[in-house]
Structure 1
Amino acid sequence: MNLYKRGNIFVISAPSGSGKTTLCNKLIKALPDLKMSISHTTRKPRAGEIEGVDYFFVDKETFEKMISNNEFIEWAEVYGNFYGTSKSVLQQLMEKGYDILLDIDTEGAKNMKKLYPESILIFILPPSLEELERRLLNRNEDKDIIKKRLSKANEEISNYKFYDYVVINDNLEKAFNELLCIVCAERLKTKKIKDDEIEKIFKK
């Protein structure tokens, strides 16, 4: 029995190195009716990334044209690369009846809340800045990039009160279970239940 309305929008933000991508992937695998909204980006694909699965990879000229045509719900420049959430991608998922998961930064989350007030915003925190730095160092990235990411992390973390939920990723399985609980609880709210389906149950 399909009692519950779909089309919920879950927005996840976190400083780089907080384990956000891993947690999002685990959620998608656990919940087949939850789909990731795939962003457009101008950055080059990393090893193993697939067009249309991880991102829609476009050049800067194409991205700027999409901005001019007002095709994005939100977009941002991050370390010289552009990222954006396409209106059409989101609309297609909603029309198919899926719940949607977005992985976007704090500014993008604020824009989503303006456009879709019912969006559920979740912020993932690292257990400490020291642990965040350790995780970033393990990526073997350039020290200047790590410094920029840590500086941006402080700015992003200061926005956590804007979100509906906060999950601290000090243990991956624990953080995943907390995210799963949030999604399930939001789906079970009475305003998300189809009244006509309830009426069928108790109809004489």
Structure 2
Amino acid sequence: MSAPSSASALIPRRGMMLVLSSPSGAGKTTISRALLAEEDGLEMSVSVTTRPPRPGERDGEHYHFIDVARYMALTKDDGLLEHARVFENYYGTPRAPVEAALAMGRDVLFDIDWQGTQQVAEKARADLVSIFILPPSVGELERRLKGRAQDSDAVVAARMAKAMDEISHYFEYDYIIVNDDLDRSIADVRAILRAERLKRARRIGLAGFVNRMRGAEE
């Protein structure tokens, strides 16, 4: 993992919400795992869901598993940054743990689609940094999906149709990365993260740091 520089560590900052979105097969999950393994101060957002746990899933790690009554209470109290119903189940991002992490200067990684990103932007645009991962071509995306050998041709066709819809929302994101080389794409996302961490608006301790420097000279 990379450690922050000593100068940066002297200046407290507010964390950010780093959103990675992409159509299935574009490489978002692989990039996310690399970021979490390499970057200090970055944690994955854990969503709530009303569906039952699947084999191997652990509460608090993969999801926070809650009942419908609790979910509805969270939506009523504006306790979710984004939420959606998928088939018969509900999903959402709890606001409180994310805001606590940001206040401590930690960054939170989100794996959500363009609709979820829109909702987060409406509630906390200043804390949001959004990145859309594009495949290098439609043909390459289809090849990757078929290469998984997990889905039928009909399922692959459905995923491709959904991918085209998702890609049409690319312009809503702050940054666009074409994932034609995985190592370079990971490096590009890390570069974005480093640059965004240095933004003056997030470095809430900057004024105090400068004032102390000026005071030492007087």
Kindly report which structure 2 residues correspond to 1:119-138, keeping only aligned pairs within 5 A, or say none.
119-137=128-146, 138=148
Distance 1:180 1:116 in 2: 22
Identity among equivalent pairs (%): 36
Distance 2:30 2:99 in 1: 25
Question: Which residue is 2:188 aligned to?
Answer: 178
Kindly report which structure 2 residues correspond to 1:155-174, keeping only aligned pairs within 5 A, or say none.
155-174=165-184
Distance 1:198 1:166 in 2: 34
CA 1:154–1:77: 2 relative to 1, 3 Å? farther
CA 1:144–1:77: 2 relative to 1, 3 Å? farther
- Secondary structure, in 3 states, of the residue corresponding to 2:46? coil
Equivalent pair of 1:124/1:168 in contact (CA under 8 Å): yes
- Secondary structure, in 3 states, of the residue corresponding to 1:32? coil
- 1:123 deviates by 0.5
Question: Which residue is 2:35 aligned to?
Answer: 27
- Secondary structure, in 3 states, of the residue corresponding to 1:198? helix
Of 102, 107, 119, 1:111 maps to: 119
- 1:49 deviates by 4.4
CA 1:49–1:22: 2 relative to 1, 3 Å? farther
- 1:70 deviates by 3.9
**TM-score, normalising length from structure 1?**
0.86
Equivalent pair of 1:122/1:164 in contact (CA under 8 Å): yes
Equivalent pair of 2:46/2:60 in contact (CA under 8 Å): yes
Equivalent pair of 2:15/2:202 in contact (CA under 8 Å): no
Note the residue ranges of structure 2 that are not aligned, 5 or more in a row. 1-8
Note the residue ranges of structure 1 that are not aligned, 5 or more in a row. none
CA 1:69–1:146: 2 relative to 1, 3 Å? farther
Code of the residue aligned with 2:65 in structure 1: it is F
**TM-score, normalising length from structure 2?**
0.81
Equivalent pair of 2:129/2:174 in contact (CA under 8 Å): yes
Code of the residue aligned with 2:140 in structure 1: it is E
> Aligned-pair RMSD on alpha carbons?
2.4
Code of the residue aligned with 1:106 in structure 2: it is W
Matched, 1:201 2:213: yes
Question: Which residue is 1:16 aligned to?
Answer: 24
- 1:131 deviates by 1.7
